[in-house]
Amino acid sequence: MHGFANPARFLRIARWLMPLCMGAGIVVAFGALGWGLLAAPAERLQGETVRIVYLHVPAAWLGMAGWMGIAVASFTELVWRHPLAGIAARACAVPGAVFTAVCLITGSLWGRPAWGTWWVWDGRLTSMLVLLFLYFGWMALSQASEASDGGQSKAPAIFGLVGAVNIPIIHYSVTWWNSLHQPPSITMGKSAMSGAFLWPLLFAMLGFTLIFGGVVLARMRAILANQQAEARLRRKALAAGDL
């Protein structure tokens, strides 16, 4: 892990890995969406509305994965003081929040014909909404820390670890409480879904995960470039002050 602590080494890897992830992700994700929307059959009970699953499930997965990325980066920053950990957490926050919002919007659109309502305050929907608010709170705290002490505060890292408690709540909410939301269709080693629905869904999840990874790498490069530019400006200001 510490082999990637050197920003220059990371940038050399990210320079070719980012466009690879983005390009492959766009091809796979949009191919899977086309497969699911145009070629996959309609579901016996839900009909054509089931096709939203090919966007809703990847968005839900990446909304949770984004916060887990923040939590892992926060742990790494607190324990090992990895110089890129805080940058990685900041890079995960915005795409994670976007996918969480997409999950909530597509879930509402799917819930209207399936449940007869746009929203219910059950465990799964409420915990996903809490996740979106956690993202907003973490980003506000991170920006405040960056503005006040140059990002040296440990408060965002601690918040990232504490907020990870919500991830298992989201996952197990449909089994812990009564819910209109269906139980997990895909579990470790088995699936309740027909292959006609499962395969385009898995490819959609792979494609959007690659896009997520590409966006995170692009954001890390942008944050590093901004930090390096600010450091150069500070050095020039100090040099000018010594003249």
How many domains are contained in the chain?
1
Question: Is residue 34 in some structural domain?
Answer: yes
What's the CA angle centered on 37, arms 31 and 39, to 5 degrees? 80
Chain-centroid distance, C-alpha 189? 24
Q: Which residue has the tokens 């006609």?
A: 196
More confident residue, 123 or 185: 123
What six digits make up the tokens of 73? 């980066």
Q: What does the alpha-carbon distance between residue 2 and residue 68 come to, in Å, rounded to a whole number?
A: 20
Question: Is residue 77 in some structural domain?
Answer: yes
The average pLDDT across 39-55 equals: 87
87-101: per-residue pLDDT in tens? 999 999 999 999 999
pLDDT over 80 at 5, yes or no = no
Question: Is residue 12 in some structural domain?
Answer: no
Question: Is residue 76 in some structural domain?
Answer: yes
The average pLDDT across 167-189 equals: 78
The residues, ordered by sequence, that sit 6+ positions from 46 with a Cβ below 8 Å of its Cβ are: 113, 114
pTM summary value: 0.90
Question: Is residue 124 in some structural domain?
Answer: yes
pLDDT over 60 at 4, yes or no = no
Question: Is residue 24 in some structural domain?
Answer: yes
pLDDT over 80 at 67, yes or no = yes
More confident residue, 179 or 4: 179
Question: Residue 161 maps to which CATH number?
Answer: 1.20.120
Question: Is residue 168 in some structural domain?
Answer: yes
Task: Print the domain residue range for 53.
Answer: 20-182+193-242
How many residues can be counted in the chain?
A: 243
Question: Is residue 199 in some structural domain?
Answer: yes
The average pLDDT across 86-115 equals: 95
pLDDT over 90 at 2, yes or no = no
Q: What does the alpha-carbon distance between residue 138 and residue 182 come to, in Å, rounded to a whole number?
A: 30
131-140: per-residue pLDDT in tens? 999 999 999 9
